[in-house]
Structure 1
Amino acid sequence: MSRFNVKKVAVLGAGVMGAQIAAHLVNCKVPVVLFDLPAKEGPKNGIVTRAIEGLKKLKPAPLGVATDAALIGQANYEEHLEQLRDCDLIIEAIAERMDWKLDLYKKIAPYVAPTAIVASNTSGLSITKLSEVLPEELKPRFCGIHFFNPPRYMLLVELINTPTTEPHILDKLEAFVTSALGKGVVRAKDTPNFIANRVGVAGMLTTMKEVENFGLSYDVVDDLTGKKLGRASSGTFRTADVVGLDTMAHVIKTLQDTLSLETDPFYASFATPEVLKTLLEMGNLGQKSKAGFFKKVGRDIMRFDLASKDYVPAGQKADEVYTRMLKKPAAERLQLLRNAEGAEGRFLWAILRNAFHYAAVHLAEIADNARDVDLCMRWGFGMKQGPFELWQEAGWLTVANMVKEDIDAGKALCNAPLPDWVFSGPVADAGGVHTPQGSWNPSTGQFVPTRSLPVYARQHFPESVLGANAPSASTAGTTLHEDDAIRLWTLDDEVVIASIKTKMHAIGPDVIEGLLQGLALAEDKYQGMVIWSNDEMFSAGADLQAMLPAFMMGGVKAIEGAEFEMQQAMLKLRYANVPVVSAVRGLALGGGCELAAYTTKRVAAMESYIGLVEVGVGLVPGGGGLAYIARRAAENAANSTGKDLLPFLTEGFTAAAMAKVGTSALESRKLGYLLESDVIVPHKDELLYVALNEAKALYASGYRAPLKRQFPVAGRQGQATIMGSLVNMRDGGFISTHDFYIASLIAGVVCGGDVDAGSLVNEEYLMTLERQAFGALLGNPKTQERIMGMMSTGKPVRN
């Protein structure tokens, strides 16, 4: 299959979704032009211009770097339709009105390139009906593409074909959306609201119905249906506020308009809840209008009270007994909830039973297999497990019989029986719908394996479902060494992989020892080393808990020794005889940031959050982070025509002194923690593949470590300039006296101490200054107060 080479994308519709899809395309280096109607007043592109400006203010940020908004092209349907001829992909994302979409398709059809794909980003309208207005030559290249909001952060994208969509078109689009945009793709059938919204919104509606049945408040329900239940931390009603109550109402209306009791036995549960009607009438649309089921008043969170149509104080929590129940193994948990006497427990069983019931009854209609349903609920609704996974884990036939008993007793939402395949045949024999051979497809009566598109060869350990027995990164490959701190292993006998195993991948002496052991192996027999772990944590930094006993027994001297060893390890990684690549995903903070900075190259997932955060615990970076800032400033200055070193030092100093963390890999590059030569990977599951290939490519090109050089520092003159700014910040009340002291020590190190401007130093010299500053702070009572506060509460202490 030839590669779908997307040189440019057009997004039609500059509303919330369209603008954010355009933003994500820019994040992923895909050129994009955003279209909308011509403005009635002022410049014709006014609507698009305002939408792009609005991207800079949205939270969570749709852009990795706010200034990249300027990279989004602007166009309108009156003047610029010719630009569509240059686009390989056209994504329509206008309002959910069938008539508006059809009118737009007629308008753009003459300008679509002969090989371009056209896709509608609809959350539930019929893709087949949308295609009917298209010219015959365009129908094979038309499909649905459903991004979830917000597009940058939500993994799920549903692709929906029509009877006339050519299969290879979906294959090409799936490869592009997966690898170039970093998404998890599920192919959905062209049924109302597809898979995720069909199951998810039906689940929210039935949850709201059960809330009325059991008389629970919204804050208690959100406490029960958030992380405690293995779902998104926002729970049910806060999630509705974030999505937008108007958006939710539209999706509900799609269910109401396109389904009936004849086509969906749960239809009676799809009535718009009275509370939702009331909030919509009041104009309270959720987060976008700053009021919905909840609203913030000052620092207080209030919840809506339907009886008074006013807001009352929120903050109620669920009974602790149910919190304990939800921590039990799946089988015991469901039995306890089903037999609970309290309203909260019976409510939880009801919503789980309804989810199992609904998913089983509708599986054949909405999806090709059970895996697609579970992945949709994970990726689109933030669940740790989909309904079929939980059902299977708890005991397939046991749970099936519990659900059947409730249906027979009239306790379920409808009397539709569970399908026959639930109780007999291959599923019952296998103990569930997920097996190593694949996941159950009730239409064909077979277990269906995952699609084997070439793009998935780039994912060594893709997300899988319970029961599939997919390879685990913790046991895969050949183990070279393993202890409690680290696993050294290889997939291909060419590159050593180092996977840190400590809690939050904290870096202590055992991790340092393991990394150096891996490096020795790599230098002896392999082409390089990759530091990678298969979760959202590269490393949260140095292990403070391991450090404190040594400090209590031996004082600062004991810590200086451990710090010296860590610094020396960083230098060994930097000057190794083979390339060492950091595969960064999620958090890389403090020592984790330093570890990445001292490797040969970094391959970072788009959602990587990198920074030196030691100020939060009253310390300075002590693993070479400040030496790195000084060296990079000197290297950047050497490549410039300017002779003043200080401007190149300022950003690095500010980032460390203010504990700035890049809110994306793109912003981390702006802060200097990633270089222009480093690779940013959109899809988290491709990270290891790319990192291994980068290591091998460096080795194949004759890699040699950089020579150790001296470099100039800003000296006492640069330090004096920085101190002047710090005095103003302290005297203006922007930083505390202790913050001032910490920042002054950071300034002293990055400027090279009490030396003349332009003095030549090496990394070891600056690392000595780091250790001195670190030790001075460690003995300071205010720093000790910050450390103990962070360890006990997980939150920084401001003193």
Structure 2
Amino acid sequence: MDRQIRRAAVIGSGVMGASIAAHLANIGIPSLLLDIVPAQLTDEEIANQLSLESKQVRNRFASQAINKLKKTNPSPLFDRDLVALISPGNIEDDLDKVKEVDWIIEVIVENLEIKQQFYKKLESVWVNGTIVSTNTSGISVNEMVKDLPDSFKNHFLGTHFFNPPRYMKLLEVIPGEKTLPEVSSFMKDFCEKKLGKGVVVAKDTPNFIANRIGTFGLLVTLNEMLEKGFSVEEVDAVTGPLLGRPKSATFRTLDLVGIDTFIHVATNVSEKVNNRSEQQIFEVPKLLKQMVVNGWIGEKAGKGFYQKVEKETRKEILSLDVTTLQYKRQNKVVGSSLESAKLVKGPERKLKALLAGQDRYSELAWNILKKVLLYSAEKLGEIADSIIEIDQAMRWGFNWSLGPFETWDAIGLKSSVAKMEDEGLVVPEWVKEWIDAGNNSFYLKENGFTYYSSKGKYRLVDSVPEVISLKALKEQNKVILSNNGASLIDLEDGIACLEFHSPNNAIGADILMMIEQSIEEVRRNFNGLIIANQGRNFCVGANLMMLLMEAQDEEWDEVDHIIKMFQNTMLHLKQFEKPVVTAPHRMTLGGGVEVCLPGDQVVASAETYYGLVETGVGLIPAGGGCKEYVSRISESASEQLTDIQPLVNKLFETIGMAKVSTSALDAQKLGYLRKSDLIVTNSDHVIYEAKQAALRLVDRYVPQKNERIHVVGKEGKAIMKLGAYQMKLGGYISDHDQLIVNKLAHVLAGGDVPAGTLVSEQYLLDLEREAFLSLCGEPKTQQRMQYMLTKGKPLRN
């Protein structure tokens, strides 16, 4: 059956239900959001003379949830206007409307009996073949529908989103006993390709994969703290990035999740498992129960393991003393193992350095880690079929740098197992048999291919065509050219990929040199070029430290040379006679945007935060950013015979205020991306889609030519400068801000030429460079650059 999901229905408009509906809207799928009918009128409804029979009252919960989506920050929507794709309703009046949808997602209260009652009601209006899923975080999928017909069970499964659905990568698919394989396969494919999720297939066991192991790890950590007398801040110092975990570590994570929610998840396991020792592990400590009684349930209550308090001139975060149950000032945590781990880079090396220590913090790390590793090994086969699914679930769902089995490899499988056995711990038989067979790790990498331990053998990790790993290609000797800043990699099929790998992917001379060399190499031996990487961020701009040092030394010829080199390289990229596709993701700022602009097409990850932010450091874009956007305005206005001044005014505001998009879709709305640029929801598929875009361009490619650009001239500049003056009078910008944006207005207007003058690209590039150089010499600009480098945020001086 050729399935498609065109419309959906979400049942339950709480935080998760509404956010799932929002993410469906993100990919263009309209949904019906249903909830129960209120039992009482609000004061406002009474004042408006409404009754319990009024439609807006009956739809109140869903309508309120939809309105809240517009105000939530960070936004669950790529663009707040997408909220129009969600329609409110209620279960009593509108349940039969699910006949018109292709997917029904239940997100009601986590109570088995209530869910069972709902599914009996739903089945009476359900159309055979419609997929139904539950978003439960741990209740048995099979138990929910045990009394329903097989036809319903065939199309029923679990789809466990992690919160918030837009941003969290993990989605657990949990097939039921009777779920048709083609239904599970379709949902896995849909959630990966359309929703952009990392999907793992889990067994129908309490809390599935990620929450089972994650909850175990948190309880082990909590018990270790209580037994050994560690403080909250000591535990978080150990169990954050040094252990390969997020900065929120253990107790900030618990505060974010909600201690009441965590207790519910832990209790679900203790009540459902049959093994008495496992039940005891998941029993909730008295400390957590007392905190719930006190109302200290985390961030949503204003206090949990941490409390933010307002002092006279600042905010302070206090930590809970778990012995006295009083909040106190945090003590600085210092230890030789912690300091050693901080000095090295990479999660594997940090972890090894931490465990190699000889203090109480390295002991704490080992005591937590060994139990999590052993538990993960014990649960293989019960909660998931492979170590890959367990590792992916923990990386994607709990933001661990390494999954349990990847961690085991990193610290040394044989040596760590030997240490565990010396300490009297029971190691699962399959792990000992694996080591006895002569294996030193759970994963094996050879010639760029990865193998994993499965039923006593190494098996090749299945390749996914849409997932292109630059790291794997480099291990397969696909590197064509390379220097410290970038590498050119053969993607096959006549397409090469230029990858940045400088610190923070900042653009310096080495990257610019590699772009020029890549152009020559592709000209001789390839059909097209894509510019992409798989770093944390695509590119946060030019090398600001180098620029500041040259400016402080007043090496103006050198600054001029650097900017001219950048401009010329971007111009060569734009005029290259073969297709160029750029593929940004996450932070793409300043020079990162300017690298994307010369390309024939942008293929962006949906989570791309894109913007020309140079005014924040006292400068203006000078790598062709101003020129390229003015050129685009000129071209579009010429085609539509419209006045370009309003469009230039909007550009002036966008660049002058250093606006950064909240998504790739928002970047289109701001005018940074064109409507013809592509947006890819799954970040792992971006390079594949960029390659496909380049291949499509090859046969019909027409190189870009030198352009003549219409500008608004001195009259248009006056309009922009007037706007800046009014903002200064209103107190919105400083004197230095006004100086910066006046220079920006000069560039965007094309200088002091008459309105409507046609100018060359080089003319505008020269204006950019002149303005940039003059601002580099300003003491307040240098202060802004210094502040950004030391504080990581803009200075408004």
State the shift of 1:447 in Å: 4.5
Match of 1:98 among 112, 115, 140: 112
Aligned partners of 1:178 and 1:147: how far apart in 2? 12
Q: 1:562 to 1:571 in 2, by over 3 A?
A: same
| 2:440 corresponds to | 431
Structure 1 pair 615/326, CA: closer, same or farther in 2 (3 Å)?
Answer: closer
Amino acid at match of 2:128: P
Instruction: Determine the structure 2 residue equivalent to 1:503.
Output: 503
| Pairing 1:358–2:375 present | yes
Aligned-pair CA distance for 1:200: 0.3
Per the alignment, residue 480 of structure 1 pairs with 480
Partner of residue 19, structure 2: 20
Aligned residue in 2 for 1:458: 466
2:304 counterpart residue number: 292
Aligned to 2:46: none
- Structure-2 residue corresponding to 1:691: 690
Q: Secondary structure at the match of 2:676?
A: coil
Counterpart secondary structure, 1:137: helix
* 3-state DSSP of counterpart to 1:484: coil
CA distance in 2, matches of 1:392, 1:307: 37
How far 1:476 moved relative to its partner? Answer: 4.0
Letter matched to residue 362 of structure 1: K
Matched position secondary structure for 2:555: helix
Counterpart Cα distance in 2 of 1:516 and 1:336: 40
Aligned-partner residue type, residue 161 of structure 2: F
Match of 2:295 in 1: 283
Cα offsets for 1:8-35 (capped at 9, x unmatched): 2222111111111111122222332222
CA distance in 1, matches of 2:125, 2:692: 40
SS of residue paired to 2:646: helix
Q: Distance in 2 between matches of 1:636 and 1:330?
A: 48
Work out whether 1:152 is the aligned partner of 2:166: yes
State the shift of 1:138 in Å.
1.4
After superposing the two structures, state which structure 1 stretch, 186-195 or 475-484, moved more. Answer: 475-484
- Quote the offset at 1:651 in angstroms: 3.1
CA offsets per residue over residues 123-169 of structure 1, 9 Å max, x none? 11011111213322111111111111111111111111122112121
After TM superposition, the structure 1 stretch with the greater mean CA deviation from structure 2, 419-428 or 768-777, is 419-428
Determine the C-alpha separation between the residues in 2 that align with 1:52 and 1:446. Answer: 51
Which whole-Å CA distance do the structure 2 matches of 1:143 and 1:537 have between them?
A: 35
CA gap 1:675/1:477 in 2 versus in 1, 3 angstroms: farther
Residue 748 of structure 1 aligns with which residue?
746
CA distance in 1: counterparts of 2:207 and 2:114, whole angstroms: 18
Aligned residue in 1 for 2:339: 323
What is the CA distance between 1:332 and its match in structure 2?
A: 9.1
Partner of 1:542 in structure 2?
A: 542
Q: For residue 332 of structure 2, what is the amino acid of its counterpart?
A: Q
Paired AA for residue 134 in structure 1:
L
> How far apart are the structure 1 equivalents of 2:182 and 2:459?
19
In the superposition, relative to structure 1, how do residues 116 and 446 fare at CA in structure 2: closer, same or farther (>3 Å)? farther
Aligned residue in 2 for 1:212: 226
Q: Is 1:70 aligned to 2:77, yes or no?
A: no
Match of 1:526 in 2: 526
**Would the alpha carbon gap of residues 712 and 332 (structure 1) be closer, same or farther in structure 2, given more than 3 Å must change?**
closer
Counterpart of 1:273 in structure 2 is: 285
Match of 1:575 in 2: 575
Could you tell me whether the CA contact under 8 Å between 1:476 and 1:491 is conserved in 2? no
Give the 3 Å change call, closer, same or farther, for CA 724–336 of structure 1 in structure 2: closer
2:385 to 359, 363, 368: 368
| Separation of aligned partners in 2, 1:566 and 1:200 | 47
Q: Distance in 2 between matches of 1:383 and 1:222?
A: 14
Moved more, 103-112 or 192-201: 103-112
User: 1:473·1:534 contact (CA, 8 Å) conserved in 2?
Assistant: no
Match of 1:6 in 2: 5
Query: How far apart are the structure 2 equivalents of 1:186 and 1:100?
Result: 27
Q: How far, CA to CA, are the matches of 1:461 and 1:301 in structure 2?
A: 41
SS at match of 1:85: helix
5 Å-filtered alignment, 1:122-201, equals 122-201=136-215
3-state secondary structure, aligned to 1:673: coil
Q: Is the 8 A contact 1:613 1:659 kept in 2?
A: yes
Q: Which residue of structure 2 aligns with residue 393 of structure 1?
A: 410
Asked if the contact 2:468/2:684 (under 8 Å) is kept, the reply is: yes
Other-structure match for 1:378: 395
CA distance in structure 2 between the aligned counterparts of 1:620 and 1:576, rounded to whole angstroms: 26
* Offset of residue 789 of structure 1: 3.1
SS at match of 2:587: strand
Distance 1:632 1:427, change over 3 A: farther
- Give the paired residue count: 773
For the residue of structure 1 that corresponds to 2:284, the secondary structure is coil
Q: Deviations over 1:409-429 (max 9, x none)?
A: xxxxxxxx2212222346752
Name the CA distance, whole Å, in 1 between partners of 2:666 and 2:734. 27
Could you tell me whether the CA contact under 8 Å between 2:715 and 2:755 is conserved in 1? yes
Residue number in structure 2 paired with 1:678: 677
- In structure 2, the residue matched to 1:29 is 28
Change (3 A) 1:149 1:629: same
Please name the residue that 1:421 is paired with: 430
Deviations 1:257-308 (A, max 9, x none): 112443xx23323222233223322333322333322232232212234455
Q: Return closer, same or farther for 1:74/1:523 CA change in 2, 3 Å cut-off.
A: farther
The AA in structure 2 aligned to 1:472 is A
Q: Is the 8 A contact 1:620 1:770 kept in 2?
A: yes
Structure 1 partner of 2:555:
555
- How big is the alpha-carbon RMSD for the aligned residues of Structure 1 and Structure 2? 2.6
Give the alignment's TM-score, normalised by structure 1: 0.91
Letter paired with 1:29:
G
The AA in structure 2 aligned to 1:498 is L
* Equivalent position SS for 1:178: helix
- CA, structure 1 residues 200+770, in 2 after alignment: closer, same or farther (shift >3 Å)? same
Contact 1:222 1:236 in 2 (8 A): yes
**Structure 1 750/200 Cα, relative in aligned 2: closer, same or farther at 3 Å?**
same
Q: Deviations over 1:500-523 (max 9, x none)?
A: 232222222332232122223333
CA drift at 1:477:
6.1
Q: Distance in 2 between matches of 1:333 and 1:154?
A: 25
Task: Mark the CA change 1:158 to 1:595 in structure 2 (over 3 Å): closer, same or farther.
Answer: same
Secondary structure in structure 1 of the residue aligned to 2:89: strand
Asked if structure 1 preserves the Cα contact closer than 8 Å seen for 2:270 and 2:280, the reply is no
1:642: Cα distance to partner? 5.2
Relative distance call for 1:580 and 1:341 in structure 2 (3 A) is closer
Cα offset for 1:628?
2.3
Please, which runs of 5 or more residues in structure 1 have no aligned partner? 409-416, 463-470
Give me the whole-angstrom Cα distance separating, in 1, the residues matched to 2:350 and 2:610: 38
Measured after TM superposition, the shift of residue 326 of structure 1 is: 6.4
Q: From the superposition, tell whether residues 597 and 289 of structure 1 become closer, same or farther in structure 2 (CA, over 3 Å).
A: farther
| Corresponding residue to 1:313 among 315, 319, 329 | 329
State the distance in 1 between where 2:757 and 2:751 align. Answer: 10
Residue number in structure 2 paired with 1:249: 263
SS at the partner of 2:498? strand
Match of 2:250 among 228, 231, 236: 236
Q: Which residue of 2 aligns with 1:766?
A: 764
Shift of 1:313: 2.7
Q: Distance in 2 between matches of 1:594 and 1:196?
A: 40
Distance 1:332 1:752 in 2: 52
| Higher alpha-carbon deviation: 419-428 or 645-654 | 419-428
Cα distance in structure 1, aligned partners of 2:349 and 2:518: 43
- What's the CA shift for 1:619? 1.2
Q: Is the 8 A contact 1:225 1:231 kept in 2?
A: yes
1:295 counterpart letter in structure 2: Q
For normalisation by structure 2, the TM-score amounts to: 0.91
Which sits farther off after the overlay, 781-790 or 548-557? 548-557
Q: What corresponds to 2:47 in structure 1?
A: none
